[in-house]
A = this chain, B = another copy of it.
Amino acid sequence: MGNTVSIKDIARKFKCAPSTISRALNDHPMINIDTRKTIQEYANKVGYQKNTISLSLLNQCSNTLGVIIPSISHYHETAIIEGLEAILQPAGYLLNICLTNESHALEKEYLDRLVANRVDAICISLSQETFDHSLNEHIDKAISRSLPIIFMDRFYHALDVDRVITDDFKGAFMATEHLIQMGCQRIAHLHGPKGITVSQQRFKGYEACLKKYGRDVDDQLVKQVMFSPESGLAATKSLLDQKTKPDGIFAVNDEVCFGAMKIIQEKNYKIPEEIALVGFDDIPLAAFAPIALSSVSRQSKKIGEQSAHLFLSKMNGMHQHQQFALEPELIIRESSQRNHCS
């Protein structure tokens, strides 16, 4: 505020030009070694701190990455951010994190603000509203001003973009196949919110796996849920209340499984003997669920790290677009491990 000292201030003190101070502080050999030291000591004493803003203006880059993400209330998203930070902190970047709350309007607003702030690139996980209605103009506009945009988790209609995702299809396939191998005959799926890529892909993986084993998707066994335990509980309740009950459930994420477990245990079904359960994300509490929860790990932190690397290569002039799909990993725990297959 008031007491910040600038290069000009120091120049006045030493009765010399700002350029001399600048060079001295940057240890430029052009400046006499003694003058350099004297100036550096003085700057240090008065607590001089370089004003990065002026540099951003001059160099047309802000050393900041914009991150637009629907929420950070789940492990997956926080792990992504941790991954981004882990790579970008040493590289000297800061993160501008924006939560859209799945709102298209907010996403647009934040995008504009980040552009106005001249972030060097944007990592974005599209909001559900943007998805549902294919409201892409704001993204297209950003891309057209050649601002690097890296999509995380959720697809974007255009193909030639930068993207880092997990192979959700494959993960879902693995989970479903595992349930089949455990002897499950009626495998239900708790389907995530419509329109979101991960929901769609996981359903498709589930569907494809059933097909591979000569089964069809039974609409009665597919219920739609939000990403919350409450929603998982309600959906599972309706599954258990109908005639065709499942003997295996693959849910769109782990939180949903916590809700499912609650009601399954309340109704006195045995996990995994009567109903086997597999989730997605492998959250830290998965192993500490009422019955240790099997889950598909999607290497959340690695998504952040990979996105960060992609960003850095963009900063180094890499112009081609790249797409990464990380390998999911099935973690088998008690909730689905049947020792004697039926």
Residues of A within 8 A of B (CB): 1-4, 47, 49-54, 56-57, 60, 62, 64, 71-73, 75, 78-79, 81-82, 85, 89, 92, 94-99, 106, 109-110, 112-118, 141, 144-147, 228-229, 233, 255, 258-259, 261-262, 284-285, 287-290
Give the most central of A72, A117, A141: most B CB within 10 Å: A117
Contact status B144-A47, CB under 8 Å: yes
Q: Give chain B nearest CB distance to A179 CB in angstroms.
A: 22
Contact status B3-A146, CB under 8 Å: yes
CA distance A116 to B63 in the complex (A): 12
Contact status B99-A97, CB under 8 Å: no
Kindly identify which residue among B73, B118, B285 contacts A53, using a CB–CB cutoff of 8 Å: B118
Copies of this protein in the assembly total 2
Contact status A97-B95, CB under 8 Å: yes
A-B residue pairs in contact (CB < 8 Å), sample of 9: A1-B145, A3-B144, A47-B145, A49-B116, A53-B62, A71-B82, A78-B78, A85-B98, A92-B113
Contact status A2-B146, CB under 8 Å: yes
Kindly identify which residue among B97, B114, B261 contacts A288, using a CB–CB cutoff of 8 Å: B261
Determine the residue in chain B with the shortest Cβ distance to A120: B1
Q: Give chain B nearest CB distance to A258 CB in angstroms.
A: 4
Residues of B contacting A94 with CB < 8 Å?
A: 96, 98, 113-114, 117
Contact status A229-B73, CB under 8 Å: no
Q: Give chain B nearest CB distance to A82 CB in angstroms.
A: 6
Residues of B contacting A145 with CB < 8 Å?
A: 1, 3-4, 47, 49
Contact status B62-A72, CB under 8 Å: no
Contact status B146-A115, CB under 8 Å: no
Contact A229 to B288, CB < 8 A, known contacts A2-B146, A82-B73, A99-B82:
yes
CA distance A62 to B52 in the complex (A): 11
Determine the residue in chain B with the shortest Cβ distance to A229: B288
Kindly identify which residue among B53, B81, B255 contacts A117, using a CB–CB cutoff of 8 Å: B53
CA distance A98 to B82 in the complex (A): 10
CA distance A114 to B52 in the complex (A): 9
Other CB < 8 Å A-B pairs besides A78-B78, A94-B117, 17 of them? A1-B60, A1-B146, A47-B145, A49-B116, A51-B118, A52-B117, A53-B53, A53-B117, A57-B57, A72-B72, A73-B82, A85-B99, A89-B106, A96-B96, A229-B285, A285-B285, A289-B290
Contact status A51-B116, CB under 8 Å: yes
Kindly identify which residue among B2, B229, B233, B284 contacts A255, using a CB–CB cutoff of 8 Å: B284
Kindly identify which residue among B1, B141, B285 contacts A47, using a CB–CB cutoff of 8 Å: B141
Residues of B contacting A98 with CB < 8 Å?
A: 85, 89, 94-95
Residues of B contacting A115 with CB < 8 Å?
A: 49
Closest 10 CB pairs of A and B: A258-B288, A290-B290, A52-B116, A229-B288, A1-B146, A97-B97, A72-B78, A85-B99, A52-B117, A53-B56
Residues of B contacting A109 with CB < 8 Å?
A: 89
Residues of B contacting A288 with CB < 8 Å?
A: 229, 233, 258-259, 261-262
